[in-house]
A and B are shown apart, each in its own frame.
Chain A
C-alpha cells in the first residue's frame, strides 16, 4: 500500500517511516484523506520539499544552536515532543503549550492552538523568534545562513532562482511549508474499515467506539467527518474547560488587562507562550471576542494515540483522561466547577466505562501504519485504556507485539 508520507527524504525520518515512496513517485491518495490543499503561489516541487526538510531540521536557526523545528516536532515522536507536557525550547525553557503534531496539519485552515497564524507559511517564522522556542531576536541570523551556506545557496538558487538578498524569509517559510505539506498520514485501520470496506481491519470494540463517537459521545460535531474522508476537525475554536478552568477567578481582571496590554503593543505570540494566564485566554487573545474566551482549536484525532499528552496545555496524560474530561461536561475532576464561558456543545455525556473504553479503542484505530511502531515503542501511557475495575478488550488495531508494550490493557 502506498504510504501517506510522500517524498520525505530525511535521514531521521527515512529509517523510521517504513515504506517511503521514492521522490517523484505517483502521489497516491492516502485512504481517508482528501488532496492536500496547496496554495497557488507556493507549488510543491521535490527540490523545494527537500530544502524545507533541511530547514526544518537546522538547529542553527536557534540562539543556542541546539533547537530546530524538529526538536519539538520530532519525526521519531510522530512529529511532536511526546511525552513532554509543554515544549522545551532553548536552554530547556518551557512554553505554555503542547506541541501539536505536524502530521496532517496541511489541512488546517488556521495555525497554532489559537489560530493566530493564518497559513502554514506564516506559522513557520514565529517559533524562530519566540523567546522560549528558538530564541532568536530577529530573523537576520537565519537569512545570514541561507544566503551564505554553500548548500543553501545552491538549493535556493535551484528552487526559487534567487540568491543573496533576494532570498528572504518568504522563501524560507515557503520551503518549510512545502515540506510540512508532505507530512500527511491516513491509511489507518479505521480508514481501511470505514473507507476501505475491510470489515476485519478493526475490532468490534472499535466499531462500537465509532458508534459512540457518532452518537452519545457527541464527538463528531467538532471532530468532523465527510463522506469520503475525515480530518476529524471542524477548524473551529471551543472552550472545552481545559486550561481556562485554572484562571477562572482572575478572568474579570485579567482579560481586560490583557487587551489593554495588547493595544499598547504586547506581542501576542510571545505573550501567550510565556505568560500562562495569557495562554489560557485562548482564541480570545487573538480575536478579542467574548465568545472565544478560553477557546482552542479542535485537534485532529488522527494518530492521537502516539502524541500524548493531550490538549493545548498537555494537561491530560491519556486518551481515557480526555474522554473522562468530556464525560464530566468539561471538567477533569468530576466535582470541579465548570467555567462560566464553556462552549454550549460541552455537557455531561453519561458514558459508561465500557463506552469510554470503546471510544478510546476507536481513537487508537486512527494510527497510521508508519506510526504504529512508535505507538508500540512508546513508553508514554497514551493508550493505557483501563479504568478501575474495567479491563478493556485487547484491540487488534496495533501490530502484533504491542501487547507486551504499553498498549491497551495496561
Chain B
C-alpha cells in the first residue's frame, strides 16, 4: 500500500495527535493490517549535559534536552516508550549524569538508555549503570525484538593502559577529531552475547538495534565508525527485517546494507558540523579542527532536534522534529528496499549540498 506520509497531516495525527480527533484514520491505521502491532516510540539522543562548576551547567545543552523532553510529553497518542540514545553527559561525571537524569525524569513513561562514549570513559560506565542499568540488553515489545548495544568500547590497551588518569582518558575520547582517540567497537564478549541472544529469536521477527556509534563505517577520522561493524552486521544478516538506530553523529543519516536499514538520530545539543562563528560569548562547543558551515548559529536549537519512530509491520519510519526547519521523515520504503527521506528523496527535491571553500 502506498502511504503518503504527508508531513503536516502526519504531525497532526501522530505528533500532537489529537489526531485521532482531527482525522478519521491515522497514518498507522491506514498502513497496516494489524494496528495492534503498530506502535511509536520517542528517541532523544546526544544531550551532552556539561558541568561548568558546581551546579552550573552549560545552558544551551540543558535547554535542548528540556525542550525535547517537554515536546515528547506532548506526543499523542503516547509513545510506548522513550529511547535515550547516549551521550547524556559530556565528560561522564556524576554531577553531569545526575543532572541529565533529573531532566529526563520529567519524561512520561518508560525510558531505555544507550551508552555513549561521553557517558563511559571516565569510570567505564560504573555510575551510569547505577542510574540506568545494564550496558547492553534486549527486550521484546509487540512482536519486535529490541537490542541495545554498547558500541563505544575500544581496545583494552587504549582503555586500561594508555592514560595516566581516568579524566584524561575521558578527555581524549571526548574530542571529535582527536587523533589520540581510538576506533569504537562492540567487542568479542558482547558479540558472543548478541549471538546467543539472537539465537532465541525467530528469523521473521523484526529486530531493532540501538547503538550509540553507527554500526557501519562512515568516517574514521571523526569516529563515525564501529570497527567490528561487519561482524555485528553478520549476526543480524539472517533476519528478514532489521533496523539499526544510532546517535553520535548529530545529523540525519540513513543507509541500507543488505537487510539492515540504518537511521541516525539528531542531537539535542549541537549539530555536526558547526562553525565557531558568531561567538559573542563563551560557546563551550568542542573544538573542531576543520571548520564547516551551518545554517543559523544565532538560534542555538537550529540544526538540533529529536525524533519519534513509528514501527509498523516490523519496519520503522523516523520523523525528525527540527527547529527552524521543516519536519523530516525517513521511512523504510518496501518497494525501494531501503529507507528514503519522504521529503527529499527525488533528486530535484533534494537540498543542494553547500559549497565548501
Contacts and interface: CB of A to CB of B under 8 A. Distances in A.
Nearest to B12: A288
B18 A344 contact: no
A341 B71 contact: yes
Interface string B19-56: 00111000000000000000000000000000000000
A304 to B, nearest CB: 21
A252 B74 contact: yes
A373 interface: no
A291 B69 contact: no
A342 interface: yes
Contact of B76 (A215, A216, A251, A256): A256
Contacts of A352: none
A341 B73 CA distance: 12
B60 interface: yes
B22 A340 contact: no
B128 to A, nearest CB: 25
B299 A340 contact: no
A264 interface: yes
Given A345-B298, A345-B299, A291 B324 contact: yes
B123 interface: no
Contacts, number: 80
Interface residues of B, number: 34
Given A221-B298, A288-B16, A259 B63 contact: no
A8 B301 CA distance: 44
B73 A290 contact: no
A236 B321 CA distance: 18
A251 B322 CA distance: 20
A388 interface: no
Contacts of A288: 8, 11-12, 16
B25 to A, nearest CB: 14
A291 B70 CA distance: 11
Contacts of B177: none
A289 B327 contact: yes
B280 interface: yes
B300 A290 contact: no
Interface of A is mostly: loop
Nearest to B323: A291
A218 B300 CA distance: 12
B19 to A, nearest CB: 8
Contact of A255 (B23, B74, B300): B74
Nearest to A248: B70
Interface residues of A, number: 28
B272 to A, nearest CB: 17
Nearest to B20: A260
Contacts of A215: 280
Given A256-B76, A345-B300, A340 B69 contact: yes
B312 interface: no
Given A256-B76, A259-B22, A288-B11, A341 B298 contact: no
A347 interface: yes
A249 to B, nearest CB: 11
A255 B21 contact: no
Contact of B16 (A256, A342, A343, A344): A256
Interface in B277-329: 280-281, 298-302, 304, 321-324, 327
Contact of B63 (A252, A256, A342, A350): A342
A294 B71 CA distance: 13
B324 A216 contact: no
- Most chain A C-beta atoms within 10 Å of own C-beta, residue among B11, B70, B302, B304: B70
B21 A263 contact: yes
Contacts of A289: 11, 327
A279 to B, nearest CB: 18
A251 B22 contact: no
B76 to A, nearest CB: 5
Interface in A316-357: 329, 338, 340-345, 347-348, 350
A22 B67 CA distance: 54
A344 B17 contact: no
Interface of B: 8, 11-12, 15-18, 21-23, 59-60, 63, 66-67, 69-71, 73-74, 76, 280-281, 298-302, 304, 321-324, 327
Interface of A: 215-216, 218, 221, 251-252, 255-257, 259-260, 263-264, 288-291, 329, 338, 340-345, 347-348, 350
19 contacts: A215-B280, A218-B280, A218-B298, A252-B70, A255-B16, A256-B18, A256-B76, A259-B18, A263-B23, A289-B11, A290-B11, A290-B15, A291-B321, A340-B70, A340-B71, A341-B70, A344-B299, A344-B324, A347-B300
For the complex of A and B, the 5 pairs showing the least CB-CB separation, nearest first, are: A344-B301, A340-B70, A263-B22, A344-B300, A259-B18
Given A251-B74, A291-B322, A329-B59, 10 more contacts: A221-B298, A259-B16, A290-B71, A338-B63, A341-B67, A342-B67, A345-B300, A347-B60, A347-B300, A348-B59
